[in-house]
Amino acid sequence: MATDIQVKIRRVIARNPATGETLREFECASAAEVTAAVERARAAQPAWAELGVWARVDILRRFQRLLHQNKDEVACIITRENGKPQVEALLTEVLVVLDAARFLIENAHAILKPEPVPHGNLVMKTKSARLLREPYGVIGIISPWNYPFSTPATEGLAALVAGNAVVMKPSEFTPLAALEVGRLLHEAGVPHDIFQVVVGDGLTGAALTEASIDKIVFTGSVRTGKRVAETAATKLLPVLLELGGKDPMLVLDDVELEAVTSAALWGAFMNAGQTCLSVERCYVHRSLYEKFLAAVVEKTGKLRLGNGMDPETDVGPMIHEQQLRVVEAQVADAIARGARLLYGGRRLPELGPTFYAPTVLADVTHGMLIMREETFGPVLPVMPFATDDEALRLANDSEFGLAASVWTSHRRRGEALARRIQAGTVMVNDVISCYGISEAPHGGVKLSGLGRAHGRLGLEEMVRVKYVDSDLLPRIRKVWWYGYGEKFARQMDGFLDLLFSRNWTRRISGGLRSLRAYFRSGRL
Ligand code: NAD
């Protein structure tokens, strides 16, 4: 029977943000297609888990080799789709993934193998116990556009090596980079149903969260992360949430300005400021404030903006018009409330549709949007402080808690402050680099998320822990298996004294009492 119900087809378009050119157009995967992908993944996953860690590590090794051989092509895909300079695509995406593969190749077996659990409790000494780390089954991964290759790849590799199947939904703005992750994985030997990419928009992402998956790994904005968490809560679906940041940089009064100002510049403008870990709030000790600003403005003036395919380019375009408008509104709000615009603060239409000049703002305050909301654009807002305690108070005065940096010539002073900063990561004398350290867990506190990606903790997110123990004396009846009575109560009383009394005489007498009651109970 003919039906007149129209199914509206939604589309996503991968565009080159430097030129506006359409790279490829896709139909969004429908909810039915997402469900079918998850079902295929579920059917294929047991065989993948059966393969064992070493076989999966071999496949990762092949993936790593292929990625290395194809590094320039991959960087080119990332740059054309996301806009970042090609050297940044190599440094912050390809290198990060090669090293994440290295970490898993070297460590996955040791982390995932059964772990003995020694028992401290005397009564349980007859048991041999293990923690088993078992794959969840099917993991859904949803990614943003700012690290379109390294985010799905690092999370995907960890999920796969642990024995899971993956259905991943890339950002609607950068599907090509995620499809490249899939192409390389398949060529390396990962079965097609074990790593699938479903291209689409937010509704496709919502369909994946609602599908019959076993865990959702979400990287993106706080707003979407909360929605994903709400859906997950109704099913008690485990979630890993890697969300936004408003990372502070604290420049103490004992630094050398040359290195610190270069770090501030790169930390704020790298990837056109569209990095969850970018320097978003810069606090400088009052004694260095004007000198810091002068140096930063001078260095900003030397940055070369343009198409990321040009090797001379330092800063590329922003991803899209909507993002640019948010940044413009934040900068306008800051200026209206008394911030000094020292550099930039305007679009550069002569370069392309979404170029925005690297912008330096001074005298900002926490009453301005630029110091409260995440700024996904090339803006460095700077504010003075007088004491370390004030800097700390300002750093912690945020809903976010992804990462932070402290700059000082005295490591102890830096680390003492680091301990008091509310963030998932604090770097003393560096910015952003923690993302490139495969051993370092990546994740936030407060609104910046839940759980950790990368490193040992990131791999542990991809498994369920099961505790298994075997009793080594199966023929012996346990004393607590009924037959309660006064003798048993005396035995327990003495036993607790033996184990936990702080008085040695009571311990010994408790032990003797317990033994006597045991022998008299006839439970042997
Ligand atoms: P976003 O939240 O708009 O989108 C992220 C992904 O979620 C996209 O794939 C999108 O299609 C999907 N999505 C949208 N609506 C959905 C829904 N209802 N259900 C499920 N999925 C849905 O974020 P964005 O603009 O793509 O990325 C920028 C954000 O990502 C920033 O806030 C940035 O800080 C954050 N980020 C965080 C990290 C981290 O590791 N903490 C890393 C990179 C980016």
Q: Whose CA is nearest to atom 39 of ligand 1?
A: 242
Mean pLDDT, residues 472-495 taken together: 91
In angstroms, the Cα distances linking 297 to 236, 318, 380 are 50, 21, 10
The whole-angstrom separation of Cα 401 and Cα 413 is 21
| Structure tokens that stand for 397 in this block | 């005065």
Burial 493-518 (b: 16+ CB within 10 A, else e): ebbebbeebeeeeebeebbebbeebb
214-223 pLDDT, tens digit each: 999 999 999 9
For ligand 1, atom 30, the nearest C-alpha belongs to 220
The pLDDT of residue 483? 87
Report the SS3 class of residue 205: helix
Q: Which atom of ligand 1 is nearest to the CA of 145?
A: 26
pLDDT at 3: 47
Which atom of ligand 1 is closest in space to residue 169's alpha carbon? 9
**By the 8 A CB rule, do 435 and 443 touch?**
no
Q: How confident is the model at residue 122 (pLDDT cuts 50, 70, 90)?
A: confident
Give the tens place of pLDDT for each residue, 426-470: 999 999 999 999 999 999 999 999 999 999 999 999 999 999 999
* Backbone phi, psi, residue 384, to 5°: -85, 155
Q: How far apart are CA 388 and CA 403, in angstroms?
A: 18
Separation of CA 159 and ligand 1 centre (Å):
19
Cβ neighbours for 275, distance < 8 A, ≥ 6 positions apart: 146, 147, 432
* CA nearest ligand 1 atom 43, residue: 276
Using the mean position of ligand 1's atoms as its centre, give its distance from the Cα of residue 199 in Å. 14
Whether ligand 1 lies within 6 angstroms of the CB of 156 is answered as no
Share of the chain above pLDDT 70, in %: 98
209 in ligand 1 pocket by Cβ < 6 Å? yes
SS3 annotation, 414-450: HHHHHHHCCCCEEEECCCCHHHHCCCCCECCEECCEE
Q: Indicate the residue type of 498.
A: L
pLDDT in tens, 255-297: 999 999 999 999 999 999 999 999 999 999 999 999 999 999 9
Q: Is the pLDDT of residue 89 over 50?
A: yes
User: What are 130-176's pLDDT values in tens digits?
Assistant: 999 999 999 999 999 999 999 999 999 999 999 999 999 999 999 99
216 Cβ closer than 6 Å to some ligand 1 atom? no
Ligand 1 atom nearest to CA at 443 = 41
Show the 3-state SS of 233-253: HHHCCCEEEECCCCEEEEECC
Q: Whose CA is nearest to atom 16 of ligand 1?
A: 202
CB of residue 373 inside a 6 A radius of ligand 1: no
**DSSP bridge partners of 401:** 445
- Mean pLDDT of all residues in the chain? 96
Give yes or no for a contact between 260 and 291, defined as CB atoms under 8 angstroms apart.
no
- Quick check: 2 pLDDT over 70? no
Tokens in use for 474?
Answer: 């199966």
**Helical segments of 116-221, H only:** 150-161, 175-188, 202-210
User: pLDDT tens, 164-193?
Assistant: 999 999 999 999 999 999 999 999 999 999
Sign of the alpha-carbon torsion through 186, 190, 194, 200: negative
Cβ–ligand 1 distance for 82 under 6 Å, the answer no
Amino acid identity, residue 372?
A: R
Q: How far is CA 282 from the centre of its chain?
A: 23
pLDDT value of residue 470: 97
For atom 35 of ligand 1, the residue with the nearest CA is 220
Cα(463) to centroid of ligand 1, in Å? 23
221 lines ligand 1 (CB under 6 A): yes
Question: CB of 277 closer than 6 A to ligand 1?
Answer: no
405 DSSP β-pair partners:
249, 427
86 lines ligand 1 (CB under 6 A): no
Residue with the nearest Cα to atom 37 of ligand 1?
243
38-60 mean pLDDT: 98
Residues with catalytic annotation?
242, 276
What is the arithmetic mean of pLDDT over 313-340? 98
